[in-house]
Structure 1
Amino acid sequence: MTLTTEPSNYERSLAIAEKLLAPLVKCMKPGAASIPLEGPASDHGELADVLESFARPCLLASHWLAAKGGGGETEGFTRDEVAKWFREGLVAGTDPSADEYWGPVTNYHQHCVEMGALVIALEIARDHLWTPLSDTDKHQVLRWMRTARGCGFHRNNHLFFGVLPLSFMVSEGAGSPGDQELLLRWMDTLESMYLKDGWFIDGMNETVDIYNAYAWHFYGLWWGKLYGDMDPDRAQRWRDYAVPFLKDYVHFFAASGENVPFGRSMVYRFNASAPFGLAHYCGVSAIDPGLSRAVFMKNVEFFVSRLPEDQPLSLGWTDEFPLMAEVYSCAGSPYWAAKAFSPLLIDPSDPFWTAPAQPLPSEGDDFVRPIPAAGMVVRSVDGDIELHNSESGINPGNTRFGTYKWGKTSYRTGVGLEVESASGEFPRDAALTAESEDGTVYGRHSTHMLKCTADESAMVYVLGHKVAHFSVQVETHVWWKGGWQLQLHRINALQPAKLTVGGHSLPVSTDAHENGAYSTKLQNVCGWETSDTVRHDGADRTHIMSECSEYPIMTCNVNGEATLICLAYCGKGTPGNWNTVSLDESGVVLKADDGSEWEVSFE
């Protein structure tokens, strides 16, 4: 009888990295400095996309190359073969006389982002990617990195992409006088964007979202790990920043492992779990190592189990859906997901891998976690996560990314969300929107928090635009009970407007026209006039999880002041109804079909 041994957590994770690397290896051409991935182009230009198709897969490969055990033989390749291809590509891509040359960095260019990825990859797999290079080749790579010196960088997390190349050059003895002083001044600027309790605002983007995890804390921790001897006190600050952040952020993951879809760059998928293993690797003790491992593994496996095998990562969420991507994304962009594999750098005998597994917060009793520093309330409902954002929105210059990625009333795991259609139809799911007389639909954008508590989320904002001179002032309050929300919208429409409130959109099958596990519902309490259902099918796809989707809406016409109140449900099972027992300016008392009551004060 042959006894088989279940693979360890480490071995399972290493095998996933190998499987993700396998389709890339099949695409690698001898002498090339890019991987020919199929997908839309970005708005950064062809050379930037070419570099991205090399640098981000290189980051994935670096974690695998530096890992202990495995080797890729089961997937048909070896460490030596992969490392050799990336070394040769790095040399070809940085040689100005070569056909594969990526070109220099220039002001505010995407090249600097990918250069930052390469710096981390070279440091992670130094023995495989950097040390074997000849001195001549090293000098060539460093000369290419030097083209970032003096360039303009967006005043947000992109400053890290100036910090990392300069730090690498300084550490390699290739820096110029003043480089270290400059990069530390950039670090000062980055730290000036700190809010509190571990949360940052993303500079000129003006967003506070999941970029905190896979940009701010990822790069900050790596800088401290690699170059912290330049400023040990600063390196310790970044480790300290991560502690309260991770204690909040662990609540963003459903029992399924899915992270709540919110903010931009959702196509990076399991990049969301990037800081957990890295924080442990950097000596940050924020949460139990068995819990950190569980978040990482559940998050990665949620997505990998839903993606087609033996194919490169595509632009999308649970499948290929390029429409949800921003204009800065290209075919290589999803490989920022490689950041999640920092745990492979942790020794297999470490408690991160061996400690007893701990349940995610969402696997226990329902919770509500207010995060005032971020202007968010995160709560769990039957294992799913619901996020309320009462503060953050993208800056006016980047509204093309889709204001609805921050401006919906709430975001949920399990059901996904709608994005703008190919024809420009604004998504109205899980949101309050206003339509002007010319048919233009306006969603929530710049928002100011009033309350962020365990019982209520409240905010003020305007639905409108300066050019159209259209303005609907709104004060929104949201309360919750199980899968239900009670929404109160106080309206002051300065011109005639059609107001719409939408429920969460459900992915539905093309044949049965039903989701099965989830239900969504809207119920009028006060002020709404008509109800309808919005549906999208097939070629008109707008949902991040399905070709077909539908959601309920209610509408009314307002010119001047109005109070609009509704109940919105999203959850598993079929909801009943609520009856209004009493309603006045001070509050409402509701009674459910099962006899339970819900009393909410408006004061």
Structure 2
Amino acid sequence: MPPLHGFSDNPFETRSDLVRAAVALLSALSPYKSKDKARIKIPVATAAGFDETAAQLEGFARPLWVVPFLFNESLGSTVGLESWIQGLIVGTDPESPEYWGDLCDFDQRMVEMESIAFTLLARPDSILGSLDDGAKTNLSKWLRQINHNKMPQNNWLWFRVFVNLALVRVLGIPRDELQDQINEDLKTLDSFQLGEGWSSDGLWGDERKQADYYSGSFAIQFAQLLYIRFAGDEDNTRTEKYRQSAREFGASYWRYFDKDGAAIPFGRSMTYRFAFAAFWSALACAGIELAAALDNIGVAKGLLLRHLRWWSKHTDIFNADGTLSIGFTYPNMYLSENYNSPQSVYWCLKSFIVLMLPEEHEFWNAEELPHPTLLVSSVQSLPQTQVVWPPRQILCNTPEHHFLLSSGQMTRRSHKAREAKYGKFAYSSAFGFSVPCGPLLEQMAPDSTLTVSHDGGETWKVRSEPRNERVLSIRTSDNSRTISALASQWQPWKYLDVTITSVLVPLMEMFPGWHVRVHRVQLNGIDQSSLADNALELVDSGFALDAETADGGFIPSTESAVGTEHGCRVDGISCLLRSSAGTAGIVDLTPQTEISVPHQANVDSKAFMLRADPNTNLIASRTFIPSVRHNVPPVGSHGTRESRATSNRELWLATGVFAVAGSAGIDGQTVQDLWRNRPNLRVRLVDDELEITVL
């Protein structure tokens, strides 16, 4: 797609640069405003799961995260505040044909009320000065409906908090009519807290274990920072708690961004794109200083601006008319949620609220500091990996590859591709992750996860609903080093007693580019008839790599995939891929691993290159995935029928996963040396727990 002038060519260094980018984004929407300015409909025919009026309200409301700070005569009525004030008057007038409609339970209109409330709180005089008494009454009545309908018990509660704050502080509704609701919602929201500044998106439990960008930039931490900004003078106790929460959250959240500004895609709503960085924008607006080593406003400034620069280089995020598409780095409906209308994507403008700060604010005049891993500190050196327990992850900021290992998240909510978005072993800022487009293995595109079948590959199950997540200590054979690893269990089928325990071990500091997975597969008393005489199959896969060459072909099979610009090599136990995106590989370490367990099952293993269906990956539209397939013979295939029906066996597997990002700038010979320097392991069972030693 063509670049968007004002955004794609933007250096993102000054406040004026952000204004220019915001104007470019909003100007593309101008032709699609309704006659009376209350609705915006991008000319794309895809639909969301809510009604079309609410979808067009999204188009009007989401730009309000930035519109209040662009009010300037020179910008004209289509971009400046005037057009949105007119739409606000018309949209809340029940006699208008562009009325946004009355609310019902779980209504999308509740979501869009947040940015309207934000505008009222951020620029009350500019808004109220243009409303007569009738318009103010209509606006108040429309907003107050949020208190009379049910809503999800998750980040949505913050929308009601801000609406009620705006009603009280701006529209003159008596506080005693709304304060009880505000207090109740804040109490529920605070119950989502997990520690270390993190919250889950709803109460953490068997139905939902979600701590993703909604817990930070998209909603909860972002909202807490706005609450500090708008209610700090009336709720000192809570806002001081939120200040401390922001400091603790920021102490790990910076690790989700690499040195070039890319964030690690994880969880739902990836089409919100540069909303990843909204936390840094809100942090500056709330005036929060982070802890030592990060306590310079230039750190947050750099994390925000580098992220926007990274997105400016991805011109395929735009439709031909300059509007944003549904997708990530290119248009992609496979990753969308059922609540994504064509207008939903403008949630990304949350990252622009830093324009609330005037030109003379210290944020704009501070030196932009580099990524924390590049800062030279005499006080402390930042480790390359960090266990962040609330989201059950290990963040890996290494020179070769920036990614995270994940162990304990899941949801039973009806989110699209939920297993791909929450249940994989690893997520990468360089290689993204893939979502399924169908039931076949190639269509499932199971990068960075374990996939299993018991019916000859007719159906597959991917890792999901992990339980018993925990941190293990892995030692080296000479006891010179201790490595933190993540472990968890899951069961692929409710009707078969198969339990898989996986341990994820980051070894990058010892073996650059590598992490390993150790799987314990317990086959307990399986009835042979339920396996239909088919082998159990397990496919363990690495990172998905861009499969294209510079001239538009697919990377070819080669004798050596390293030391060349592109190539794919499979040698039986390993698969290595190389393209301009970097290098990704996988190797079956089981044959060289010292495994001391009873009842080890026979297994036939072979590496292969999985050609994923196009458009399944967030970052690259065509990908290959390095994989290893393990075939386990039917239970008790050499015994009597009785022994086959009651056999208990275990299968232990060890997998090495290798990746070096192209952006790391590492030469081919060095990459080849890193690939050959593979880890060796010793695995045994101690008190029914895996004990892993790095040799």
TM over 0.5: yes
SS at match of 2:468: strand
Deviation at 1:578, TM superposition (A): 4.6
Structure 1 equivalent of residue 518 of structure 2: 488
Q: Tell me which of 22, 25, 36 is aligned to 2:27.
A: 22
Deviation at 1:142, TM superposition (A): 0.8
Structure 1 equivalent of residue 404 of structure 2: 387
Q: Is it true that 1:419 corresponds to 2:460 in the alignment? A: no
What CA distance in whole angstroms lies between the structure 1 residues aligned with 2:32 and 2:73? 16
Q: Tell me which of 590, 612, 617 is aligned to 1:543.
A: 617
Q: Is it true that 1:504 corresponds to 2:512 in the alignment? A: no
Equivalences for residues 434-445 of structure 1 within 5 A: 434-437=452-455, 438-445=458-465
Q: Is the 8 A contact 1:428 1:502 kept in 2?
A: yes
What CA distance in whole angstroms lies between the structure 1 residues aligned with 2:503 and 2:188? 34
Change (3 A) 1:254 1:72: farther
Deviation at 1:266, TM superposition (A): 0.9
What CA distance in whole angstroms lies between the structure 2 residues aligned with 1:21 and 1:353? 22
Q: Tell me which of 187, 201, 223 is aligned to 2:227.
A: 223
Structure 1 equivalent of residue 4 of structure 2: none
What CA distance in whole angstroms lies between the structure 1 residues aligned with 2:73 and 2:386? 42
**Unpaired runs of at least 5, structure 2:** 1-10, 376-381, 474-481, 556-578, 591-602, 636-648, 662-667
The residue identity in structure 2 corresponding to 1:55 is: A
The residue identity in structure 2 corresponding to 1:448 is: N
Deviation at 1:226, TM superposition (A): 1.4
What CA distance in whole angstroms lies between the structure 2 residues aligned with 1:21 and 1:314? 14
Q: Is it true that 1:533 corresponds to 2:636 in the alignment? A: no
Q: Is the 8 A contact 2:30 2:79 kept in 1?
A: no
Equivalences for residues 81-160 of structure 1 within 5 A: 82-160=80-158
Structure 2 equivalent of residue 456 of structure 1: 484
Q: Is the 8 A contact 2:683 2:692 kept in 1?
A: no
SS at match of 1:456: strand
Deviation at 1:488, TM superposition (A): 0.7
Structure 2 equivalent of residue 304 of structure 1: 312
Equivalences for residues 61-100 of structure 1 within 5 A: 61-65=67-71, 71=72, 73=74, 77-78=75-76, 82-100=80-98
Structure 2 equivalent of residue 594 of structure 1: none
Identity %: 22
The residue identity in structure 1 corresponding to 2:96 is: A
Change (3 A) 1:132 1:401: farther
Moved more, 191-200 or 382-391: 382-391
Q: Is the 8 A contact 2:103 2:109 kept in 1?
A: yes
Q: Is the 8 A contact 1:474 1:489 kept in 2?
A: yes
Q: Is the 8 A contact 1:253 1:362 kept in 2?
A: no
Deviation at 1:20, TM superposition (A): 1.4
What CA distance in whole angstroms lies between the structure 1 residues aligned with 2:76 and 2:313? 24
Q: Is it true that 1:567 corresponds to 2:656 in the alignment? A: yes
Change (3 A) 1:376 1:579: closer
String of CA shifts for 1:336-366, please: whole Å, max 9, x gaps.
1111012211222223122222111354687
Q: Tell me which of 357, 364, 387 is aligned to 1:346.
A: 357
Equivalences for residues 104-253 of structure 1 within 5 A: 104-171=102-169, 172-175=171-174, 177-204=176-203, 205-214=208-217, 215-253=219-257
Q: Is it true that 1:43 corresponds to 2:119 in the alignment? A: no
Deviation at 1:262, TM superposition (A): 0.6
Q: Is it true that 1:293 corresponds to 2:323 in the alignment? A: no
Structure 2 equivalent of residue 13 of structure 1: 18
Structure 2 equivalent of residue 446 of structure 1: 466
String of CA shifts for 1:185-212, please: whole Å, max 9, x gaps.
1101111111111001111543011212
SS at match of 2:503: strand
The residue identity in structure 2 corresponding to 1:508 is: A
SS at match of 2:194: strand
Q: Is it true that 1:316 corresponds to 2:346 in the alignment? A: no
Q: Which protein shows a greater Rg?
A: 2
What CA distance in whole angstroms lies between the structure 1 residues aligned with 2:70 and 2:239? 26
What CA distance in whole angstroms lies between the structure 1 residues aligned with 2:43 and 2:467? 38
What CA distance in whole angstroms lies between the structure 1 residues aligned with 2:73 and 2:323? 17
Change (3 A) 1:61 1:422: farther
Deviation at 1:84, TM superposition (A): 1.8
String of CA shifts for 1:549-574, please: whole Å, max 9, x gaps.
11111111345411000111111454
The residue identity in structure 1 corresponding to 2:538 is: L
Q: Is the 8 A contact 2:546 2:581 kept in 1?
A: no
SS at match of 2:329: coil
Q: Tell me which of 516, 528, 534 is aligned to 2:580.
A: 516
Q: Is the 8 A contact 1:366 1:382 kept in 2?
A: no
Change (3 A) 1:78 1:195: same
String of CA shifts for 1:236-286, please: whole Å, max 9, x gaps.
211221011011111110122111011111111110111112212212111
What CA distance in whole angstroms lies between the structure 1 residues aligned with 2:679 and 2:358? 59
Q: Is the 8 A contact 2:198 2:215 kept in 1?
A: yes
Counting matched residue pairs gives 575
Alpha-carbon RMSD: 2.7
TM-score, reference length from structure 2: 0.77
Q: Is the 8 A contact 1:370 1:452 kept in 2?
A: no
Change (3 A) 1:25 1:109: same
Deviation at 1:547, TM superposition (A): 2.1
The residue identity in structure 2 corresponding to 1:419 is: V
Q: Is it true that 1:270 corresponds to 2:362 in the alignment? A: no
The residue identity in structure 2 corresponding to 1:455 is: I
SS at match of 1:324: coil
SS at match of 1:107: coil
Q: Is the 8 A contact 1:87 1:130 kept in 2?
A: no
Structure 2 equivalent of residue 585 of structure 1: 684
Structure 2 equivalent of residue 377 of structure 1: 394
SS at match of 1:388: strand
What CA distance in whole angstroms lies between the structure 2 residues aligned with 1:177 and 1:196? 32
